[in-house]
């Protein structure tokens, strides 16, 4: 049974990960062919190695990593050539001196971990495996350049037709998971199920990974657009999502506090008002509509984006209004905290969908909550 489960897990990983495997294999092979057949390099080790190193980085970091790999190889080759000529190849002192000088040089120039390691490995390879032969032709540096260029070209080909598609998928997954989390909290409170509420709190604590994935998706999309000749029509859409990510991060933090208060409320003997579940489910619906709005905006579907944003606004204000009606019904602190977090989440959510409507969003939410003077402020902001 365990073997069968392990095979299923392995099969699932292959189904989801075959594209990066194929991409890396083809890129490394192409880099090798270019270095050997086109340029005639005798031992182009660094061409496929550089391609694999660059493609092994997360999308959004590959241009920088390609430059770092090339610089690392150049520094390592330079140090190895000088030290081997002075001390000879293969000795312990040569190895010690090459590694020491290479790392010192990389640190002095502020190199990151990838550049530092690449420089040291390149130098060590030249000392132990393929000592310099005294030629002035920079074969290894050119090989690293070829590998990095092929890796970037492979990234470009993968994202050429739909450079924003991975980010759209990440937006949808993030918002769907956040909406499901809110609905799960509502179900747990309806049943007064402390165990289920704890499970939802655990999920809420894991939402930071989703936000990080969203940030990485924005970086990857930016990199794809920098490599895309038709990037201009996408840049504005990407910037709008980039501005929204910070507000989504705030909303995730609010939901985490809400989930923690939900655990406390589920432990109390006081009944949970059914309106609270209604408010949380309305807020979950607002999250789904907000995610659909951002995804439609990235896809260039302006009318659909406006329609989803309007629905998100309606559902978020409905959630705040419903929660606000519970203020006078109980003095339980956890309930008051949840109501406050419903308001805060609605504000951050709507700010994320409408980043240019900051003051009006705050006024509309407070009016829905029934705060004194909020309606007057809202009318003033909306003029």
pLDDT along the chain (383 residues), means of 10: 60 67 86 86 80 71 67 73 76 84 76 70 74 59 81 71 76 91 92 90 89 80 65 64 80 91 84 89 93 85 87 91 75 78 86 74 80 48 31
The CATH fold assigned to 165-382 is Methane Monooxygenase Hydroxylase; Chain G, domain 1 (1.20.58)
Closest-CA residue to 328 (of 370, 380, 284, 288): 370
What's the rounded Cα separation, in Å, for the pair 162 and 165? 5
CATH 1.20.58.220 domain position(s) in the chain: 165-382
pLDDT at residue 136, as a whole number: 47
pLDDT at residue 231, as a whole number: 58
């Amino acid at each position: 049974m365990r073997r069968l489960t392990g095979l299923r897990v392995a099969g699932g990983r292959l189904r989801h990960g075959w594209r990066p495997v194929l991409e890396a294999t083809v890129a490394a092979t192409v880099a090798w062919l270019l270095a050997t057949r086109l340029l005639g390099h005798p031992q182009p080790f660094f061409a496929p190695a550089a391609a694999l190193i660059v493609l092994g980085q997360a999308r959004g970091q590959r241009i920088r990593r390609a430059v770092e790999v090339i610089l690392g190889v150049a520094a390592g080759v330079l140090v190895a050539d000088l030290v081997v000529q002075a001390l000879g190849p293969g000795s312990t002192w040569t190895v010690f001196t090459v590694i020491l000088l290479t790392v010192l040089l990389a640190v002095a120039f502020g190199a990151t971990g990838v550049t530092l390691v690449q420089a040291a490995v390149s130098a060590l390879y030249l000392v132990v495996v393929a000592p310099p032969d005294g030629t002035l032709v920079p074969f290894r540096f050119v090989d690293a350049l070829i590998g990095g260029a092929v890796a970037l070209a492979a990234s470009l080909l993968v994202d050429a037709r739909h450079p924003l598609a991975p980010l759209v998928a990440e937006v949808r997954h993030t918002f769907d998971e956040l909406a499901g989390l809110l609905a799960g909290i509502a179900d747990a409170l309806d049943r007064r199920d402390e165990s289920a509420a704890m499970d939802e709190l655990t999920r809420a604590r894991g939402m930071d990974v989703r936000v990080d994935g969203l940030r990485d998706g924005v970086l990857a999309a930016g990199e794809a657009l920098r490599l895309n000749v038709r990037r201009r029509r996408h840049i504005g859409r990407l910037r709008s999502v980039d501005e929204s990510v910070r507000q989504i991060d705030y909303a995730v933090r609010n939901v985490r506090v809400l989930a923690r208060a939900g655990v406390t409320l589920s432990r109390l003997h006081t009944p949970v008002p059914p309106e609270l579940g209604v408010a949380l489910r309305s807020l979950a619906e607002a999250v789904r509509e907000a995610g659909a709005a951002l995804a439609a905006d990235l896809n260039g579907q302006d009318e659909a984006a406006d329609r989803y944003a309007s629905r998100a606004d309606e559902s978020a204000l409905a959630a705040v209004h419903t929660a606000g009606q519970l203020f006078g019904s109980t003095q339980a602190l956890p309930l008051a905290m949840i109501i406050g977090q419903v308001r805060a989440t609605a504000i951050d959510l709507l700010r994320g969908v409408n980043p240019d409507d900051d003051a009006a969003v705050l006024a509309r939410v407070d009016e829905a909550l029934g705060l004194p003077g909020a309606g007057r402020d809202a009318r003033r902001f909306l003029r």
